[in-house]
Amino acid sequence: MLFERPAQERACRLGGVNESPNCPRCGYDLSGHVASWERSCPIEGRCSECGLAFAWSDVFAEFLVGPRWSFEHAPEDSPPGAMVGRAIATMLMALRPARMWQSLRLEHEVRVRRLLVLGLAQIALLHGILFVLVWGTPRVFALWSGPFWPFTPGAVLRLALFPYDGVIVIACGAGNVTGLPVWVPLAFGGVSASMPLSMLLLPVTMRRIRVRRVHLLRGFVLGLPMVPLALGVMLATGLFIACEQWLPGTAVWRWTLAGVVLVAMAVLLVWYGYWWRQYLRYYIRMPQPTLTAVVLLVLCGTFVFVSSFVISVWS
Ligand SMILES: [Zn+2]
């Protein structure tokens, strides 16, 4: 087929190229566009299905080398140490969403197996951190201030839920102890983690931009570091509350403490909105990324907080 085409058209197809180009966002077969080229070939194109604008050179490339930090795109023959390094680099890159989603693009092949490995590794890591905090902190701080929330697995169910129904003990010297129920940082992290899934709840938007599901999976896995970030922010504010007794116990101070906690939570939610806006803007390349991010944040926030509150009351 290729050799039946005019020479100038063949010249458009740069060496070692993808014979059946597809839209990076929706997967639509673009060979019809290519067949329509008679005398010249454009540098940029637009998918007739989803409206994505792209560079034809990116679409034709059989294999685009992903960014150097990307765990998904580490070479197959990388030693284990290099793979771990890439995984850490990918998790840290999540703290710079604008840079992350400008360097990793729709055109970079989605490697589902790698994404699943990275996703499971992050969930296992978070589980380990929570286990150590819930199991360990009551014991560590009991040395100072007596047993607080001892680990008493009264029922098989409670043991099965451990450490997710537990409390992390935060202490600031003897007697100044506070507890952070694990469901609270998980609910906050869950608001961010559920954003790509919640996009499926916007059928009109999804029909218009027709994102392949693997791109949502990539967003989910690369957004998972937002969960330990929420945990870190809450442990910091918890430490602040634990130290309350060292502060002058006036009403002004009490309001200041409440204000610090509220501001920390608000900053976290605004950060999530910003994070997903970068994903929608630079990665998905959708129109109105800010508005969509706000709508998704409200959807996810309402669902996650109502459901985790109900679960925590019920259990
Ligand atoms: Zn498309």
> What residues does each domain of the chain span?
2-60, 107-314
d(CA 228, CA 188) in angstroms, rounded, equals: 10
Q: What is the average pLDDT value for the chain, to the nearest integer?
A: 84
- Dump pLDDT digits (tens) for 19-31: 678 899 999 999 8
Of 268, 109, 280, 303, the closest CA to residue 209 belongs to 280
Contact 148, 141 (CB under 8 A): yes
Distance from Cα 49 to the centre of ligand 1, integer Å: 5
pLDDT in tens, 70-110: 999 999 999 999 999 999 999 999 999 999 999 999 999 99
pLDDT at 158 over 80: no
Write a three-state SS string for 10-78: HHHCCCCECCCCECCCCCCECHHHHHCCCCCCCCEEECCCCCCEEEHHHHHECCCCCCCCCCCCCCCCC
For residue 149, the one-letter residue type is W
305 CA → ligand 1 middle, Å: 35
- 54 CA to centre of ligand 1 in angstroms: 10
CA of 221 to the centre of ligand 1 (A): 23
Ligand 1 center from residue 302 Cα (angstroms)? 31
Dist. CA 44 → ligand 1 center (Å): 14
Cα(246)–Cα(259) distance, integer angstroms: 17
Contact yes or no for 296/198 (Cβ under 8 A): yes
Q: Model's pTM, two decimal places? A: 0.84
| 177 vs 233, more confident | 233
- In the structure, ligand 1 is a single-atom ion and the residues with CB under 5 Å from it are 23, 25-26, 28, 47, 49-50, 52
| 8 Å CB contact between 271 and 293 | no
Which residues sit opposite 272 in a β-bridge? none
d(CA 272, CA 147): 36
60 Cα to the center of ligand 1, angstroms: 14
